[in-house]
């Protein structure tokens, strides 16, 4: 499935005139395969051995291109570093208060929220975002072991 997403994303970029460089290909592939919602720095560190001449600015510039093309969502959660999520479908995030881990989940019942909000308020809803915060299983276990 990852190869299909990568091929589709590359085709989408090519159709808008974006040149596919080896670095751009690698950054996109990393985002598609990654389940950690990486920061630009995470991506840079993961790829720097393959591309020693690549800078963090190159990563940021490519992430901007991907975001503008609708392939990547930039996630900001109040800390200093944005995280990036390859967009395959609508989903939500649960975030660990202790370690910052972000996990995707989908709940179809929440799709009705936009319709209800529009109906009740008269707004034309463009999008919505929901975040749930808690403590991940690893941090729960560590807290238990400390006590």
More confident residue, 80 or 17: 17
Mean pLDDT for 64-93 is: 84
Is 139 annotated in a binding site? The answer is: yes
Kindly write down the DSSP assignment for every residue of 35-73, as one continuous string.
SS---HHHHHHHHTTT-TT--HHHHHHHHHHHHHTTSEE
More confident residue, 91 or 32: 32
Q: What DSSP element (H or E) covers 94? A: strand 92-96
Yes or no: say if 28 and 6 are a contact pair by the CB < 8 Å rule.
yes
CA 101 from centre of chain? 12
Mean pLDDT for 15-33 is: 94
Task: Write out pLDDT tens, residues 79-103.
Answer: 668 999 997 677 888 989 998 888 8
- Could you tell me the domains of the chain? 1-86 (1.10.10.10), 92-145 (3.30.1490.190)
pTM, full prediction:
0.79
Is 91 annotated in a binding site? The answer is: no
Task: Write out pLDDT tens, residues 116-145.
Answer: 999 999 999 888 888 899 999 999 999 888
Mean pLDDT for 56-65 is: 96
Average pLDDT score over the chain: 89
Is 128 annotated in a binding site? The answer is: yes
- pLDDT score for 92: 86
Name the pLDDT band for 110 (thresholds 50, 70, 90).
confident
Is 136 annotated in a binding site? The answer is: yes
- pLDDT score for 19: 93
Is 37 annotated in a binding site? The answer is: no
């Amino acid at each position: 499935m990852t190869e299909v997403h990568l091929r589709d994303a590359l085709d989408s970029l090519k159709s808008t005139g974006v040149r596919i460089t080896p670095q751009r290909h690698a950054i996109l592939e990393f985002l598609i395969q990654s389940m950690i919602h990486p920061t630009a720095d995470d991506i840079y560190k993961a790829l720097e051995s393959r591309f020693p001449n690549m800078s963090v600015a190159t990563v940021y510039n490519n992430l901007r291109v991907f975001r503008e093309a609708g392939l990547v969502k930039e996630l900001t959660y109040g800390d200093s570093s944005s995280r990036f999520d390859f967009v395959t479908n609508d989903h939500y995030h649960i975030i660990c208060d202790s370690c910052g881990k972000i996990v995707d989940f989908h709940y179809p019942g929440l799709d009705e929220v936009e319709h209800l909000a529009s109906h009740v308020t008269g707004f034309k809803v463009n999008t919505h975002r929901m975040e749930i915060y808690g403590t991940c299983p690893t941090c729960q276990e560590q807290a238990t072991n400390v006590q």
